[in-house]
């Protein structure tokens, strides 16, 4: 087991099985006599590929964060009025969500009388998200869209035909965390991550690093905040639950395959690891994994952990996966929940 807190970046790619999930709706679409509750899709090679947008996926993660962290979310805070006792909406020191997911918030709602920079009076407080994700994309040849038909009654005795679409198959998502930016807030140029009002509230909790181009504010207990962020990174992936953004049915999105690695630099695992094999089965391209380690091995600070749930691939592919990991010391085979242990993250 390695210590992820000495790494700067964590990257993961997940394969998620979905059964009859309505994960990200396009809204109601009129087709013939039916109003269709349509799922988002794009076309590739004559095939409709279902997907969940990155925006919807981040909404799922925000929803889980409100439960796991037990703090009001950013959008809840926008709706409430600021007071002298609670004068700010965006505060990455107080609110883990703002530290982890970033924000863009007008500074005029964080009022103060002794602003040390006139730019702040007419700008925004912005924090680029340390957590990054793609959407969840259906794997070509292994995902499909189907529909069920029924009736909806806007008023008693007025049945209207209605059709709802569902996604089934395997979806792939890529996740990353810039761990080096957790608990670190920088002001440079037009980027303002720490405005004077927030600084005034938390001055005793922050250390200051200054250079010719930027000022950085670091949490004194930054190591603990980074540990919380790492725990949440894996918890949120393992407990992912779809159901936001006008979707109809809650669906478990826990991964059946999870590959993770830590690195000194911002490296991303490739999105071409998984493919459709003969007979429409899920396969892994081990050449892609080998090329990744061969190219970037000196920058990796952990083995590549491959978390596999038994039965996800056929027996032949399971055997190939086991043999591949036995031959290559840069890879370690575990369960999806065991990836965090190999990368040095204690639950």
Query: With contact defined as beta carbons under 8 Å apart, do 159 and 152 qualify?
Result: yes
Q: Identify whether 331 is part of a domain.
A: yes
Better-scored residue on pLDDT, 1 or 62: 62
Q: Which domain holds residue 76?
A: 4-342
Q: What is the mean predicted confidence (pLDDT) over 333-342?
A: 94
pLDDT band (50, 70, 90) for residue 159 = confident
Distances (CA, A) of 158 to 28, 44, 150, 154, 161: 18, 39, 13, 7, 10
What is the per-residue pLDDT across 220-240, written as a single tens digit (0 to 9) for each? 999 999 999 999 999 999 988
Q: Identify whether 251 is part of a domain.
A: yes
Q: Identify whether 66 is part of a domain.
A: yes
What is the per-residue pLDDT across 109-158, written as a single tens digit (0 to 9) for each? 444 444 444 444 446 788 999 999 999 999 999 998 888 777 777 777 77
pLDDT over 50 at 347, yes or no: no
What is the per-residue pLDDT across 279-294, written as a single tens digit (0 to 9) for each? 889 999 999 999 999 9
pLDDT over 70 at 254, yes or no: yes
pLDDT band (50, 70, 90) for residue 162 = confident
User: Would you state the pLDDT for residue 246?
Assistant: 41
Q: Identify whether 144 is part of a domain.
A: yes
pLDDT over 60 at 87, yes or no: yes
What is the per-residue pLDDT across 179-222, written as a single tens digit (0 to 9) for each? 999 999 999 888 889 988 889 889 999 999 999 889 999 999 99
Q: Identify whether 94 is part of a domain.
A: yes
Q: Identify whether 173 is part of a domain.
A: yes
Domain count, the chain: 1
User: Would you state the pLDDT for residue 272?
Assistant: 93
Q: Identify whether 104 is part of a domain.
A: yes
33: helix, strand or coil: coil
Neighbours of 112 (CB within 10 A): 17
Q: What is the mean predicted confidence (pLDDT) over 161-178?
A: 88
Share of the chain above pLDDT 90, in %: 51
Side-chain half-sphere exposure of 335, counting CA atoms within 13 A: 7
User: Would you state the pLDDT for residue 90?
Assistant: 86
Instruction: Tell me the C-alpha distance between 332 and 227, whole Å.
Output: 22
Nearest to 230 by CA among 129, 102, 100: 100
299: helix, strand or coil: helix
Q: Which of 129-143, 164-178, 189-203, 309-323 has the lowest mean pLDDT?
A: 189-203
Better-scored residue on pLDDT, 77 or 136: 136
Q: Identify whether 347 is part of a domain.
A: no
Q: Is 231 exposed, middle or buried (0-12, 13-18, 19+ CB in 10 A)?
A: middle
Structure tokens at 23: 């994960």
What is the per-residue pLDDT across 9-58, written as a single tens digit (0 to 9) for each? 999 999 999 887 777 877 677 666 667 778 888 888 888 999 999 998 89
User: Would you state the pLDDT for residue 244?
Assistant: 45
């Amino acid at each position: 087991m390695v210590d992820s807190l000495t790494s700067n970046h964590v990257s993961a790619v997940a394969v998620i099985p979905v059964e009859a999930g309505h994960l990200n709706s396009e809204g109601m679409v009129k087709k013939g006599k039916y109003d269709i509750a349509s799922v988002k899709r794009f076309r590739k090679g004559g095939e409709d590929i279902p997907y969940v947008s990155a925006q919807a996926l981040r909404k799922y993660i925000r929803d889980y964060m409100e439960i796991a962290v037990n703090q009001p979310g950013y959008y809840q805070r926008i709706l409430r009025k600021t007071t002298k006792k609670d004068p700010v909406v965006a505060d990455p020191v107080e609110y883990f969500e703002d530290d982890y997911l970033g924000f863009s918030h007008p500074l005029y709602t964080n009022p103060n009388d002794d602003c040390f920079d006139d730019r702040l009076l007419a700008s925004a407080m912005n924090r680029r998200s340390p957590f990054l994700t793609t959407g969840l994309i259906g794997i070509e040849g292994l995902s499909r869209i189907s529909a069920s038909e029924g009736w909806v009654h806007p008023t008693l005795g007025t049945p209207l035909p209605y059709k709802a679409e569902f996604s089934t198959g395997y979806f792939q998502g890529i996740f990353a965390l810039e761990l080096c930016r957790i608990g670190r807030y920088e002001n440079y140029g037009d980027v303002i991550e720490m405005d004077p009002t927030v600084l005034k509230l938390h001055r005793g909790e922050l250390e200051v690093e200054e250079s010719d181009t930027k000022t950085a504010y670091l949490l004194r207990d930054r190591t603990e905040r980074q540990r919380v962020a790492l725990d949440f990174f894996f918890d949120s992936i393992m407990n992912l639950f779809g159901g936001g953004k006008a979707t109809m049915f809650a669906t478990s999105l826990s991964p059946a395959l999870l590959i993770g690695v830590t690195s000194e630099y911002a490296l991303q695992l490739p999105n071409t690891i998984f493919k459709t094999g003969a007979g429409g089965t899920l396969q892994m391209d081990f050449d892609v994994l080998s090329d990744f380690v061969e190219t970037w091995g000196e920058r990796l600070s952990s083995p590549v952990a491959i978390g596999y749930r038994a039965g996800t691939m056929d027996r032949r592919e399971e055997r190939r996966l086991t043999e591949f990991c036995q031959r290559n010391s840069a890879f370690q085979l575990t369960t999806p929940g065991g990836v965090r242990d190999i990368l040095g993250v204690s639950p």
